Amino acid sequence: MRICLVVEFFPTHEGADTRGGVETRAFYVAKHLARRHEVTVLTSRERGTPPRQVISGVEVVRCGREREYTQKWDLGARASFVLAGRTLAGKFNLVEGQNFVSYPLAWWLSRKMGVPAVATYHDVWLGEWARNVGPGGVLGELAERYILTRKWSLIIANSHVTRDKLIRAGVPGERIEVIPTGVDLKFFEGLKVEKSRHPTICCISRLVEYKRVQDLIRALKFVREEVPGVRCRIVGSGPEEPNLRRLAESLGVGSSVEFLGFIPERRRVMEVLASSHVFCLPSTVEGMGLVLVESMACGVPFVASRLPALVETSGGKGGVFFEPTNVRQLAERLIALLTDETERRRLAREGKDRAKDFDWEVLVGRMEKAYVECMGSIFPP
């Protein structure tokens, strides 16, 4: 097959400098598919990157004006990417969009080429855009309503929770296939890292309001009373970082919190996670929670918000949950794990076993089967 994957951002080198679940999924799907198919990734052009390059056997076409990576509404850069992408030459058997910015472009290209249109869906935010991202969410709300009225040949949902949301939004269930985002198990098997000397909590997250990193910092004040030497390492960047730094100082826990920012090397991010004693995901919005799978693959027990998607992802293994935004309960769960090494080891074993269900080798095989069935239903022999 000749497959075109459309995604707003894509790694710039073999080390997979991914900055979130969407980019991570796009990279590994493209890399694994390229072993047996011709794969082209159409993405925006970050500053300093060439218009064309080959990464892990994948042809990467970067278009639109040069831009910086951002989590804000850079409408000009996004419009430039979408408009420039419409000129992509070539003939593909299938075009797949990986995120909201890429869906309209993937749809347009599929119509232009007369091939199946596929969308990988990570979450449904209908009715929630303004709450999640503020006033600018009105544009997202309009865009998602347009996207979901297109007659996609196939929508790949990252969880059954996302599938249920799509059905409630009017997407026929027979057009949806649930295939979660996976992990490279061989990579994690080879990850050998010593634990930090101090009891350490790790959080890997975009620093935006709905990820609720502020709740972790508030909980840390109570955790320090029971675990005085505790450290909290936060990996990620975003507009909330100045507020989070001020919050940590105002609560008197600034010396216990380390903001590591965006770390380009994927291995280094996982080393920070693997060296920690507990992973924390306090978010109130998740379609699946890839980083939960990564913590389980590292053998690091988690404390996470009790969201349906996170419960589904973990299968109830590898960690414990707290009620979203309940800071006291979050603190209690963190204290319980940080002070009980036996329980941490038990949960680590559970988590590693659960992570085996997310092997990319298996999941990409399921995607290939879904592609073939999708193409056969549209172009029967």
72 pLDDT higher than 70? no
DSSP string, 42-106: EEEEETT--SEEEETTEEEEEEEEEE---SS--HHHHHHHHHHHTT--S--SEEEE-STTHHHHH
Rounded mean pLDDT of 245-265? Answer: 94
177 pLDDT higher than 90? yes
16 pLDDT higher than 80? no
61 pLDDT higher than 60? yes
Contact assessment for residue 79 and residue 86, using Cβ atoms and an 8 Å cutoff: no
d(CA 210, CA 306): 14
Contact assessment for residue 245 and residue 259, using Cβ atoms and an 8 Å cutoff: yes
**10, 51, 225, 265, 271 from 42: Cα distances, Å:** 9, 10, 50, 22, 30
Higher-confidence residue of 357 and 75: namely 357
Rounded mean pLDDT of 178-191? Answer: 92
Residue 220's nearest CA partner among 198, 248, 187 is 248
**25, 52, 215 from 211: Cα distances, Å:** 20, 34, 9
Residue-level pLDDT at 71: 58
3-state secondary structure of 304: strand
195 pLDDT higher than 50? yes
Long-range interactions of 80-86: CB distance < 8 A, separation 24+: 80/44, 81/8, 81/43, 81/44, 81/45, 81/105, 85/6, 85/42, 85/109, 86/112
Contact assessment for residue 54 and residue 60, using Cβ atoms and an 8 Å cutoff: yes
Residue-level pLDDT at 309: 94
3-state secondary structure of 115: coil
d(CA 156, CA 178): 6
For 199, half-sphere exposure in the C-beta direction (CA atoms, 13 angstrom radius) is 17
d(CA 211, CA 114): 39
Rounded mean pLDDT of 312-327? Answer: 96
d(CA 327, CA 27): 35
Q: How confident is the model over 213-247, as pLDDT tens digits? A: 999 999 999 999 999 999 999 999 889 999 999 99
DSSP string, 188-251: HHT---PPPSS-EEEEE---SGGG-HHHHHHHHHHHHHH-TT-EEEEE---TTHHHHHHHHHHT
Residue-level pLDDT at 340: 97
Residue-level pLDDT at 377: 58
Rounded mean pLDDT of 106-115? Answer: 94
The number of beta carbons lying within 10 Å of the beta carbon of residue 254 is 15
379 pLDDT higher than 80? no
262 pLDDT higher than 90? no
Rounded mean pLDDT of 197-223? Answer: 96
What structural domains does the chain harbor?
2-182+359-378 (3.40.50.2000), 185-357 (3.40.50.2000)
Q: How confident is the model over 28-55, as pLDDT tens digits? A: 999 999 999 999 999 999 888 899 999 9
What the block records as the tokens of 231 is 């450290």
**229, 275, 282, 345 from 339: Cα distances, Å:** 12, 16, 20, 12
Residue-level pLDDT at 143: 87
Residue-level pLDDT at 380: 41
211 pLDDT higher than 80? yes
Chain center to CA of 310: 12
Q: How confident is the model over 120-141, as pLDDT tens digits? A: 999 998 888 888 877 778 888 8
Q: How does residue 17 score in pLDDT terms, banded at 50, 70 and 90?
A: low
Residue-level pLDDT at 381: 38
Rounded mean pLDDT of 158-168? Answer: 95
Residue-level pLDDT at 128: 85
73 pLDDT higher than 70? no
**Phi, psi values for residue 118, rounded to 5°:** -120, 145
